[in-house]
Amino acid sequence: MTALLTTNLGELPLLGRGKVRDLYAVGDALLLVATDRISAFDYVLATGIPGKGKILTQISLFWFELLSELVPNHLITADVARYPAALHQYIDQLEGRSMLVKRASMFPIECVARGYLAGSGWKEYQASNSVCGLPLPTGLEDGSRLPEPLFTPATKSQDGAHDENISFAAAEKLVGPANAADLRRLTLAIYARAATHAESRGLILADTKFEFGRTPEGIILADEVLTPDSSRFWEGSAWKPGGPQPSFDKQFVRDYLESIRWNKQAPAPGLPSDVVERTQAKYLEAFRRLTGRELIL
């Protein structure tokens, strides 16, 4: 199969293209289409991962259902047959990789939950013994489990640049104290539920990020949720603090880009077939482990 890098839905209003998703206006709703684009080091690469958009969408749909009692979400339907008739001609671009969703006023922060020390959290801890202004015990290592899960918000980049960790006080200034408290409560509740499920599948949910919006009915969970693009899933049996952990994400891609000494400037390079295949297999394995189902691409 070939990778779908860009969607073309005729005269349907295109609102924007993100690193992975294309967003269209469909009357009072939105159409979110996950392409097979893949990004690394904040750049979209020249080569996609065939089927990646379908895998991410199906993982999100699994979690939306599992978490529905905790928090409402933006999903209207992912059944293309129930989309407006004008979209049916584009079924080849939409089947399995798209969601018709509610419009919401999105909060301008990324809601990050961390149960383990990794990534930018580990870097910040090394410099300050804290993450987002929250003090942590001394002696923790890369990959250490935190005493308790933390809510560590981040700014939401508007131009593709890297998100920046911020304190809870800074989040309160951006969204208001009441909203910040609600977002922290929801983020940590979702993380706890998801981490418990992942653990039952032999996986560690090290950290993840959510996006929330507000509708007239209240706060809803939006965008994608708990996929390998937005979360660190580690192999539970292989967890050993003290360095990077075996993960279910695009690490093969990052490792390859480091090996060719790419300067992390545009234009981003393409990927050899073996890196593409190994990355696709890792995403499929994440789906299989999390859901207990097989996905035929």
Residues 62 and 115 in one domain: no
Distance, in Å, from the CA atom of 153 to the CA atom of 169, rounded to the nearest integer, reads 10
Total domains in the chain come to: 2
Among 205, 238, 271, where does a domain finish? 238
Distance, in Å, from the CA atom of 9 to the CA atom of 89, rounded to the nearest integer, reads 9
Q: Is residue 293 part of a domain?
A: no
Among 185, 218, 238, where does a domain finish? 238
Residues 79 and 199 in one domain: no
Distance, in Å, from the CA atom of 219 to the CA atom of 102, rounded to the nearest integer, reads 12
| CA gyration radius, the chain | 19
Among 103, 136, 161, where does a domain finish? 103
Q: Is residue 273 part of a domain?
A: no
Q: Which residues span the domain enclosing 26?
A: 1-103
Residue 29 neighbours by CB under 8 Å, 6+ apart: 76, 100, 101, 102, 103
Q: Is residue 41 part of a domain?
A: yes
pLDDT for the residue numbered 162: 65
CATH code: domain of residue 36? 3.30.200.20
Residues 130 and 98 in one domain: no
Distance, in Å, from the CA atom of 179 to the CA atom of 212, rounded to the nearest integer, reads 10
Q: What are the 10-residue block averages of pLDDT along the chain, 297 residues in total?
A: 95 95 97 96 94 98 97 98 97 98 97 96 94 94 97 80 86 98 98 98 97 96 96 96 90 90 94 95 96 93
Is the distance from CB of 128 to CB of 117 less than 8 angstroms?
Answer: no
Residues 43 and 58 in one domain: yes
Distance, in Å, from the CA atom of 20 to the CA atom of 33, rounded to the nearest integer, reads 8
Whether residue 228 has a cis bond before it, omega within 30° of 0: no
Is the distance from CB of 212 to CB of 111 less than 8 angstroms?
Answer: yes
Q: Is residue 155 part of a domain?
A: yes
> Which ranges of 11-118 does DSSP label H, i.e. alpha helix?
52-66, 91-94
**Bridge-partner residues for 135, per DSSP?**
130
Q: Is residue 195 part of a domain?
A: yes
Residues 52 and 131 in one domain: no
Tokens 């580990």 -> residue: 122
**Bridge-partner residues for 210, per DSSP?**
111
- Residue 267's identity, in one-letter code, is P
pLDDT (tens digit per residue) in 128-175: 999 988 999 999 999 999 999 999 999 987 655 567 899 999 999 999
Nearest residue to 205 via CA among 96, 91, 66? 66
Whether residue 267 has a cis bond before it, omega within 30° of 0: yes
CATH code: domain of residue 129? 3.30.470.20
Residues 110 and 234 in one domain: yes
Is the distance from CB of 220 to CB of 211 less than 8 angstroms?
Answer: no
pLDDT for the residue numbered 160: 53
Q: Is the pTM of this model over 0.75?
A: yes
Residues 14 and 95 in one domain: yes
DSSP state of 202: T
Q: Is residue 296 part of a domain?
A: no
Residues 110 and 53 in one domain: no
Residues 57 and 120 in one domain: no
Q: Is residue 128 part of a domain?
A: yes
Q: Is residue 79 part of a domain?
A: yes
Tokens 């996609």 -> residue: 48
Residues 90 and 178 in one domain: no
Residues 57 and 41 in one domain: yes
Residues 187 and 119 in one domain: yes
Q: Is residue 15 classed exposed, middle or buried when 0-12, 13-18 and 19+ CB atoms within 10 A define those classes?
A: exposed
Distance, in Å, from the CA atom of 87 to the CA atom of 9, rounded to the nearest integer, reads 8
